[in-house]
Amino acid sequence: MKYLSTINNPADLKQLPPEALPQVCQEIRERILSVISQVGGHLASNLGVVELTVALHYLLETPDDLIVWDTSNQTYAHKLLTGRREQFHTIRQFGGLSGFCKREESIYDTFNAGHAGTGVSAAVGFVEAREHQKLSHKVVCVVGDGALTAGMTLEGLQQAGALRRDLLVILNDNQMSISKNVGAISAYLNRTFTGEFYVRLREEAAQLCAAIPQIGESVKRMAVRAEELAKGLILPGLLFEELGFRYVGPIDGHNFEHLLPTLQNVLKLKGPTLLHVITKKGYGYEPAMTNPVWFHACSAFDLRTGQPVHRPAKPSYSAVAINTLVKLAREDSRIVAITAAMIEGTGLAAFEKVFPDRLYDVGIAEQHAVTFAAGLAARGMKPVVPIYSTFLQRAYDQVIHDVAMQNLPVTFCIDRGGLVAEDGTTHHGAFDFAYLRHMPNMVIMAPKDENELQHMVKTCVAYHGPAAVRYPRGIVLGVDMDPIPMVLPIGKAEVLREGHDLALIAIGITVHQAMSAAESLEQDGLSIAVVNARFVKPLDRELLGQIARQVRGVLTIEEASRMGGFGSAVLEMFSEEDIHVPTKCLGLPDWYIEQGPQDLLRQKYGLTAEGIAEQAKRFHAKLVSRSFVTQE
């Protein structure tokens, strides 16, 4: 008998006997593998959390009880159990299900999150809202062990421990093997430690110990340490106990005989509790267990072999940037690289292979990464921080206060700038131009192709202050590469094409589209100038001013937020220079962009060659019409 096809919501799941749950998990894994092998996605972590997801929905009264998924890229099983089974094949596709929790998508999704470390803080907010509203539902937060490196997680745990409210935090530890203390003895002890008799005895003993004059608190602490020793895990338990949590675990997160009774008992506990669950990334699919790094966020793959379906013939922009960094580091021992838990994603594995002692992975701690880089720079080093645009947002204050304000030579290699496709709303790099360019001392550049990228990495590292180079996700254009990276003159643009009707002033990868649009417009009889701005800050005021005075109108083009971005910078410059030329800014709207293939999204927002050409023609026609009316 097949069970998953009968489960339309958690209430249906509850109708099944416990002995049916392993088969439910097997069917969930089969469905996840079938879909993700075709469309790609976060696979390894989702395979590892299936039993825990099933157990939570089996025991909780969701959606009245609330589950907060930290990061929420491990919620595929959650989606399959909460009414989205028939739409699951659309996950991460344009117009389909999100790869993360999305409140707009389901009542079972309690909090939107694509960045790690937000779960506990949100859950504490849920708990306090419950108390103010005098409600009694349960709040459970599931965090991965990686999230414990995020400062926000520790801040949230600290407040939760101090408030002493009823809250269950489940630590889904999927980075370590199942050790001896996860076996039957440990499971037995944890069932014992969470049973009603033990809890009552423990509380009464604690009160008795505390009542002993002078030495009561010491005796109480000794009793806690004895309990941890019996569990076989001293240090982790003490850490959470000191934060005000009752610590339970670790238990095997793939064994319902351990998971269900322990979780059932833990849900009855009062006050903040942390349940430590050991799971295995990729559980149930050997290729994912063997290579959990690649299968963390994989492209489409052959389900039989686990091999990628498509292997790009050209390198990615990330690879070009880091390969350039390796060349530069060979020549300068002061260059070090810093990442916030993204060695593979940013391409730094190539750097680590050559310079393992010059790469620092600080965990999911972007704020620390930036200030750590500032400290290195203040003492004569040349730190480079490769980081996704969406994650640099988390270190906004540190970039201002610790780097830019002190004019320190920190290089930011901003990966995934612009549209990033299937990861969608939380991961598009739309705001970097806007949030960086108003910082005094900051230099910002974006290359038109991979050859210019290598020169810009060199330029950033050679610069005497903070500098950022921003490049897109995806493979390169395939242009010829200069043999040696060179330093570009700061703030100098280049004219790629002369013209007198309109000027297309583009930045980054939109330059290529602007050139194609200009060639198309030429066939319509329009003379179009194209400028590769190269720099968002500082702008080439002389060149841009000269071009603007020679044309009827200007269009700025960027794959970034129009509001406050590159186009805004050009308009501000025109105002300051008293340049009165009609200007239209093309870019991303004042909204959070949905998920979808890059090409499709570029087409939707008018950032393809065709879209640029069409908008340019309409703009030119309006200018001609306006000029004719004025002459009349």
Catalytic site residues?
281, 366, 394
Helix (H, G, I), strand (E, B) or coil at 422: helix
- In the DSSP assignment, the letter for residue 31 is H
CB 200 within 8 A of CB 268: no
Residues composing the chain: 632
> Taken in order 486, 491, 492, 494, is the CA torsion positive or negative?
positive
Q: In degrees, to the nearest 5, what angle opens at C-alpha 388 toward C-alphas 486 and 453? A: 20
Which residues lie below 8 Å from residue 258, measured CB to CB, with a gap of 6+?
A: 184, 187, 190, 191, 251, 252
The amino acid at 432: D
Q: What distance in Å separates the CA atoms of residue 440 and residue 621, rounded to the nearest whole number?
A: 39
88 φ, ψ (degrees, to nearest 5): -60, -30
Sheet holding 335-339, edge to edge: 359-361, 335-339, 382-388, 411-415, 467-470, 443-445, 535-537
- In the DSSP assignment, the letter for residue 118 is -
Q: How far is CA 622 from CA 242, 329, 582, 629, in A?
A: 69, 52, 10, 11
361 φ, ψ (degrees, to nearest 5): -100, 110
CB 581 within 8 A of CB 551: yes
The amino acid at 527: S
Q: What distance in Å separates the CA atoms of residue 372 and residue 402, rounded to the nearest whole number?
A: 9
Sheet holding 246-252, edge to edge: 66-69, 139-144, 167-173, 272-278, 246-252
The two tokens of residue 403 are 């780097």
- HSE-up of residue 24 (Cα within 13 Å, Cβ side): 30
